[in-house]
């Protein structure tokens, strides 16, 4: 085992360091965030930083870099308050990755990347039709991270769209059965194999 | 596909809802956080919420519930500023899950769960010897989430310990080769199978 000190890390070439550091937190969730601006221009962005924030109330968060390809997503969320979160499955991971390209504002990643927008129950933001677990979300607030200029977006989950077939009696959702993929680093996509579900741990 | 509205979600039985909502963000990272208090009492806690926050400077975050089994971890980080993050691999996922039991303060989860503490280069907090990718971290600050009483802990990565064999020429670390596991919901553990690494996307 080799030890990389902070000095070693700071001397790494920029793109090397980005890939190295992005691998450290472990595997990451793979979601598409769907938004629309007030002129009905849709936007779709792959995000590997969506995280569970709480079950009661149902909250999630994600990290956004304002200067990145996610900037249209963040602008739309600030302007309209609504977005969707859509699990990426193994049939659409390549199309989903393509949404990370720097498209111009007047181009919809849905069309450019071959994914279908879908509107459900009059919710303002577009869902991804090909996704098998999707949520509508409402913006609560953003937390600026002064250390690097990113923001953490916090939102409440308003609805969940999923087949009953994958929901266990105890509430657990078998997202492996949905083909939900997982990301490591900046660009590595994986499916999963269940080891085991473990019982509630007691001392 | 069934639509669960906010009303449906709020009516779910509490433990059912916890498992249901915990499944929604997608797969989660699986890490052990090692700490020590000023009296050298060690603590080890499984955390599925560690997320990448930035590569330059190298930052990560995680979500902690102050009233949960993670409270000793949070207290130790507040008191000493230092902790380690250790990837959970398939050889230790059952022992790692066991650290989520509510042990008393004077019991070390290292001993209780059969994992080995390890001290490297005089860093204050204990590493997990059995882990194949581990980091030393220094607390920067915590962000209170008033919506549910959790806190987001933000920290800088001070050192990274990993075998050179799994680091690609471009900086990507093959954490699948390390046997790093992934969590879904509250208690489901999975290994991964690489689909593909994808090239940088261009319009």
Residue B128 has pLDDT above 90, yes or no: yes
pTM exceeding 0.90: yes
Element holding B84 (H helix, E strand): strand B82-87
> Which DSSP helix (H) or strand (E) runs through B200?
none
pLDDT tier, A202 (very low <50, low <70, confident <90, very high otherwise): very high
- The pLDDT of residue B118: 98
pLDDT grade for B94, boundaries at 50, 70 and 90: very high
| Residues counted in chain B | 203
Q: pLDDT at position B82, please?
A: 98
pLDDT for the residue B120: 97
The answer to whether residues A66 and A77 touch, using CB atoms and an 8 Å cutoff, is no
Instruction: Give the chain A residue whose CA is nearest to the CA of B186.
Output: A172
Mean pLDDT to the nearest integer, A114-125: 98
Residue range A77-86: average pLDDT? 98
How many beta-carbon contacts under 8 Å exist across A and B? 353
- The 3-state DSSP class for residue B14 equals helix
CB contact under 8 A, B107 and A203: yes
Q: Which residue of B has its CA nearest to A87?
A: B26
A21 pLDDT exceeds 90? Answer: yes
pLDDT at A71: 86
User: How far is Cα A95 from Cα B181, in angstroms, rounded to an integer?
Assistant: 26
Kindly determine whether residue A30 and residue B31, on different chains, have CB atoms separated by under 8 Å: no
pLDDT value of residue B186 = 96
pLDDT digits (tens, 9 = 90+) for A100-119: 999 998 999 999 999 999 99
Q: Residue B65: what pLDDT?
A: 87
Q: Is the pLDDT of residue B69 over 90?
A: no
Peptide bond into B57 cis (omega under 30): yes
Nearest C-alpha of chain A: how many angstroms from B39?
Answer: 22
Question: Which tokens in the block code for residue B176?
Answer: 């699948």
A173 vs B contacts (CB less than 8 Å)? 19-20, 23-24, 184-185
Q: Looking at this predicted complex, what is its ipTM?
A: 0.97
Query: Which residue pairs, CB below 8 angstroms and at least 24 apart, start in A114-122?
Result: A115/A32, A115/A44, A117/A34, A117/A42, A117/A44, A120/A161, A120/B3, A121/A159, A121/B3
Strand bridging mode B31-36 / B127-128: unpaired
């Amino acid at each position: 085992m080799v030890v990389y000190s902070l000095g070693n890390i700071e001397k790494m070439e920029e793109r090397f360091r980005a890939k190295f550091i992005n691998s450290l937190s472990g595997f990451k969730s793979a979601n598409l965030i769907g938004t629309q601006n007030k002129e009905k221009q849709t936007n779709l962005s792959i995000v590997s930083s969506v995280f569970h924030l709480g079950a009661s109330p149902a909250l999630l968060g994600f990290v956004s870099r304002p200067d990145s390809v996610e900037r249209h997503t963040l602008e739309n969320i600030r302007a309209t308050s609504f977005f969707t979160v859509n699990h990426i499955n193994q049939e659409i991971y390549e199309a989903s990755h393509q949404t990370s390209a720097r498209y111009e504002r007047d181009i919809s990643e849905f069309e450019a990347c071959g994914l279908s927008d879908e509107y459900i129950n009059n919710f303002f933001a577009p869902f991804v039709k090909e996704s098998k677990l999707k949520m509508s979300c409402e913006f609560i607030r953003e937390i600026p991270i002064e250390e690097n200029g990113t923001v953490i977006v916090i939102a409440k989950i308003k609805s969940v769209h999923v087949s009953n077939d994958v929901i266990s009696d105890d509430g657990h959702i078998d997202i492996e059965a949905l083909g939900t993929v997982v990301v490591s680093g900046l660009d590595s996509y994986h499916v999963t194999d269940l080891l085991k579900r473990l019982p509630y741990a007691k001392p």
